[in-house]
Structure 1
Amino acid sequence: MKFAWQETMNAIQRTTRVAAILVATASLIQGCAGIRLDRGLREAPYDWLTFGGAASRVNQSGSVAAPPLQAVWEYNALAGIRGTPLVKDSVVLVVTLSGEIQAVHLTTGERVGYMVLQSAVAGTPVWDSSFAYVPCALGSETLTCIGLRNAERRWARDYGSIESSLLLHGELLYVTTLDGIFYCIKKSDGMELWKFETAEKGKRKPIRSSPASDGTAITFGSDDAYLYAVERTSGKLRWKYQTGASIFATPVIAHDICVVGSLDGLVYALQMGTGKLLWKYDTRSKIYAEAAAAADSVVYIGSADGQLHALRIDSGARLWSFSAGSVISSAPLIAGDVLYVGSLDRILYALNRQTGEKLWQYEAPGRIRVSPVIWGDVLLLTSEDKFITAMRPAQP
């Protein structure tokens, strides 16, 4: 069976040729291509501007869309989608494996603009004010700043292959790379401020895990099986902890505890300040999920056997588990008392967050391997290969 990272690599290779053609012809179609947001977008507390909704990657929505839901539109991005959509005001930003960033109207589902990048986008960008910072998997421009008001590239830099999602803190961007290097970058010009190398050249393993932060330190996993914590301002190693296998998942940070799943099937909880192991929980299956979700002292994490586990974040005690029909490879989304989780069985499940009881389900056009997002009362569901479905609470 092929899991998330293997399929992403295959999709990137398939679409790189298409992206190259699009880049080569971009100069011929600039009159009709481009993203131009002619007005300033209003900010709301439930805007979804980064992977996981926050630097801590807790996947907790500031708004609620209570089930049952009904589809109001479906958008075809014409290429595979691996990053979560970002939403601000009435605009949805979508990135694709053909190397496009697309702007979609939240109300109608109509595309209002797009730009062509140099290669596939496998991670989630960051949306900051009127700028989008976008990672690319290949090429000589693997990190790009796009001005959304005037449809221009503010800067583009080469930081090696990036298949993870970006982290923004103030004026600084943080990114992990397949070269095994973690970078701190100035968002103003894209120049490197410092870098942390997990090992010497030739011995480094790829980093597919996206960075998470509590504001003082940044954590990420690596294919070398270590979970790293580095000081946010200096890049100095705070601690590292060795698990039993590669870590593809992104850590989640809550209550000064860092929680991450590993391919060894274990969930690890470590104290952010010291790296001390607090507990381990055995899911008995590999954990490919992008990340977990956390709220109210509970962490929710899925595994390759289709089980979703609700664990106390202070002790690792299991509160409940839920069986989906196939692999869970994306993070659940917390929306009030409801937990939304998708599976490769094409089903989006809505669960009671306290008990794990299934409240409702929806069959998507394809397999679900990207976390849903909620803005206002609209839930955006991404499914293979190229669809985004907008859903609202069903009218009585």
Structure 2
Amino acid sequence: MTRYLLPVALTVLLFGATRAPADWPVFRGDALMTGTSTVKLPDKLEERWTFKTGTVKPDGTVKPDGGVEGAPAIVDGVVYIASLDKFLYALDLATGKQKWKVKLGAMKASPSVKGDRVYVGDLDGKFHCRKTADGSAVWEFETSGEIMAGCNFHGTNVLVGSHDSTLYCLDAAGKKLWEMKIDGPVNGTPAVIGDVTFVAGCDSILHILDAKTGKELGNVELGGQAAATAAILGDYAYVGTMANTVVAVDLKKKVKAWQFEAAVRQQPFFASAAAADLVVAGSRDKRVYGIDPRTGKSAWSFVTEGQVDASPVIVNGRVYVGCLNDDGNFYVLDLKTGKKLQELQLDSAVSGSVAVGPDCIVVGTDKGTVYCLGKK
């Protein structure tokens, strides 16, 4: 079902317009949630440093209760990590040394950074705005449900979804400007292009909204609940569903353009897709798929050692993604062919997505270890 025409030309691509190439300030790297970067990474990744989140015991050892399920944020040489151990951390990207940490609440969401503020929601439904310099409080906004995903920005305003079935728009002081209710929890980070934003969740609908007012401009049936964030590329949105599909939405016509489904043993797509020359999506069928963005046909599939809930990223023709295998398998794939170029062993399963730095990537594990992978 559709209603209104979009007030902006969605053919205008805004890649890089809101961030420096070496920064990764939001969950999927940019406002359009593409999960892509153009930085130059080493041909072979090596462990540059690790950092342990979790509870420090009296003997000085760390109890691994601080799983990291969100993507880190990287801005101006600082890595921001939200952990299930209830702490938000700021680390030096070059060394992995802790700059500060602050106790908020158990967090699965990815932190987001804009200017001198870092934003993150917790599982108690509280949305925090903190100073990047020292983690001190600026303001706090309370929702009525878990916050599972990172926020995005429209100008100076902040967009964040909650499991209370609401997308909120807050101003720079934390005051609510508008809210949009849907029929079910909001799981993903809203993409933003121009003055348009998008929200999808457990109502199986992609809602197209005026970011200034929250007014619905149109909506498209997805055919399944969405746990993932939609990626915007040109005139299309790409989003995985719990109905075992990846869906492409034509944003001009406001219709479903195509639907991808695995040939056998279909499983849900909880991971958010990355969108570039191919749409790359991870599934709970233990595969990563490269999908033609024009036709929805599979270009390749790669078999992993575990279910893929971690959202893949694309950097200069390579795909980086982990899986839910206890051995911590992490893969580097060729974007064109899906061929494995490198495999690393981290300390445990990888639920979260990668953040891309100027010459490295940063990713957390279910045991709360944060890895910086680049060249030693």
Q: How does 1:77-226 map to 2 (within 5 A)?
A: 90=41, 106-118=42-54, 119-139=66-86, 142-198=87-143, 204-226=144-166
CA distance in structure 1 between the partners assigned to 2:230 and 2:128 by the alignment: 23
d(CA) in 1 for partners of 2:226, 2:126: 23
Match of 2:178 in 1: 239
Q: CA deviation at 1:306?
A: 1.3
The counterpart of 1:287, out of the listed 196, 220, 226, is: 226
Partner of 2:180, secondary structure, is strand
SS of aligned partner of 1:286: coil
Q: Is the partner of 2:28 in helix, strand or coil? A: helix
Q: Name the counterpart of 2:303.
A: 363
Task: Report matched runs for 1:32-51 at 5 Å.
Answer: 45=21, 50-51=26-27
Query: Which residue of structure 2 aligns with residue 21 of structure 1?
Result: none
| Match in the other structure for 1:265 | 204
Q: Work out whether 1:331 is the aligned partner of 2:304.
A: no
Q: Kindly, what percent of the aligned residue pairs are identical?
A: 24
Aligned residue identity for 1:127: I
Query: In structure 1, how many angstroms separate the alpha carbons of the residues matched to 2:195 and 2:121?
Result: 22
AA partner of residue 266 (structure 1)? I
Bigger share in helix? 1
1:52 touches 1:60 (CA, 8 Å); kept in 2? yes
Aligned equivalents of 2:299, 2:226: Cα separation in 1: 25
User: What do residues 352-396 of structure 1 show as CA deviations (whole Å, max 9, x unaligned)?
Assistant: 11121222221122211112112223321222222211123569x
Instruction: Please give the root-mean-square deviation of Cα atoms over the aligned residues, in Å.
Output: 2.2
Q: What's the TM-score, normalizing by structure 1?
A: 0.71
Out of 191, 198, 210, the residue aligned to residue 252 of structure 1 is 191
Query: What letter matches 2:49 in structure 1?
Result: G
TM-superposed deviation, 1:298? 1.1
Q: From 239, 250, 254, give the equivalent of 1:301.
A: 239
Name the CA shift for 1:311/1:150 in 2 (closer, same or farther; >3 Å).
closer
Q: Deviations over 1:86-138 (max 9, x none)?
A: xx654xxxxxxxxxxxxxxx433332321211222121111123321111112
SS in 1 for 2:225: coil
Between the aligned partners of 2:93 and 2:24, the Cα distance in structure 1 is 16
Separation in structure 1 between the aligned mates of residue 188 and residue 324 of structure 2, nearest angstrom:
20
TM-score (norm 2): 0.75
Q: 1:278 touches 1:315 (CA, 8 Å); kept in 2?
A: no
Equivalent AA in structure 2 for residue 377 of structure 1: G
Q: Which runs of 5+ in 1 are unaligned?
A: 1-42, 64-87, 91-105, 199-203
Q: Which runs of 5 or more residues in structure 2 are unaligned?
A: 1-18, 55-65, 340-376
